[in-house]
Amino acid sequence: MHVFLIGHRPDDFCASSGMFPVSRALAAQTIQHAALYRRVIRKSWRAGHALQEWGVQHYGSKWNALLPFWDEWKILRKLPYAVSPYIAHFIWGEFAAPKRVAAYRRKGGRVVVSVHCSPRRWESVWLRPDGYARADMVVLTSECQRPFVERDVPPERVRTILHGVVSDYFKPPEIREPRSDWLRLFMLGNTERDHEFAAKVAAKLPADQFEWRIRTTSHEKSFYAGIPAVSLLPRLTDEQMLAEYQQADVLAMPMLDSAANNVFLESMACGTPVMTNNTGGVPEYLSSDCNFVMSNDRNVDQWVEKLLWLEQNRDVAERMRPATRAWAERFDWKIIAEDYRAMYRELLA
């Protein structure tokens, strides 16, 4: 079975994050294409930056990568004419769905498109529903996406396969740092993160009891100006990001919405419990037995009260770490890959 995973990898994305790591478990070939604005910015910073900002507004994420016709032509050239059918799997369907599905089928291919967009961003992200609706199979990363996809795609061409994690990279540390005088929290990223709410919570936390370490973009950083309990982090190397996961007491990350989320899976794989609100696909990825799943009414005082309680009962989160790690192991890409293989076999049959 020949499988080609097609997508882009942002420059500052950890090599063990995202969907490309599943290629090792599938023994698949990868075909990477660049984000269009990256090429434009080499010739004109102003034009490239404007294109990036346009993508952020429409896609809700800086990880947008438009797929122009010339990119698709290059991809088609890399795909062989196969004696038996093969899989052309576009792993970022909302950012770069194929425009000409028939061209892949003429070369013996079957087209699969994965989608990651949360329901809240659906209308702005999905500029061309016909771009993915013609695919042979659309793969959801959460059941919360199904009502939106099935507006354009018959149910028999829709599957839900949960996101995975590289659990032999994201793993508990051999040695945890000695307990500090404050509860160490971590938060990472900007897509669908509720930084405005997090800042309101952080403003009520005593700085001598908490350090909320946050890495995000410059726009979101402005929410935390003057809040003593917050430490804003610079860009992290892969090794530094792994250490932040491993040494945090809790990943505290309120969300506006969520389908799949790399940060949740990576934190849990490191043994660090997650505290977030019950929105979108969170129930599919987080067990409340080894994480802290809050109500979705965004009650600032409720979050503050819970965090103060965790600071006074530090052993609670610490005792959760083995169970949190065990829960995350079920999302290892080697396990998730079996679901992909079954879907591919069904499609090729």
- For 142-168, the pLDDT digits (tens) are 999 999 999 989 999 999 999 999 999
- Say which CATH class 183-329 falls into: alpha beta
Strand partners, 215: 188
Report pTM.
Answer: 0.92
- Report the b/e string of 202-213 with b at 16+ CB within 10 A: bbbbeeeebbbb
Closest CA to 111 of 86, 94, 129, 145: 86
The C-alpha atoms of residue 331 and residue 27 are separated, in whole angstroms, by: 18
Q: In what helix (H) or strand (E) does residue 164 lie, and over which residues does it extend?
A: none
Residue range 85-137, pLDDT digits in tens? 889 999 988 777 787 888 888 888 899 999 998 998 887 776 566 667 889 99
Q: In what helix (H) or strand (E) does residue 62 lie, and over which residues does it extend?
A: none
CA distances from 74 to 48, 68, 78 (A): 21, 10, 7
> For residue 59, what pLDDT band results from cuts at 50, 70 and 90?
low
Q: Which residue stretches of the chain are H helix?
A: 22-26, 36-43, 45-59, 69-78, 101-106, 122-125, 129-133, 146-149, 195-202, 218-221, 238-247, 262-269, 282-285, 300-312, 314-329, 333-348
Tell me the two tokens of residue 320.
Answer: 């959760």
Residue type for position 329:
E
pLDDT score of 56 more than 70: no
The 3-class SS string of 166-209 reads: CCCCCCCCCCCCCCCCCEEEEEECCCCECHHHHHHHHCCCCCCC
Give the position of tokens 């079996």: 338
| CATH topology for the 3-164+332-348 domain | Rossmann fold (3.40.50)
Give span(s): CATH 3.40.50.2000, the chain: 3-164+332-348, 183-329
Give the up-direction half-sphere exposure of residue 264: CA atoms within 13 A in the CB hemisphere: 31
Q: Which of 47-56, 177-186, 281-290 has the lowest mean pLDDT?
A: 47-56
Residue range 40-53, pLDDT digits in tens? 778 888 887 777 77
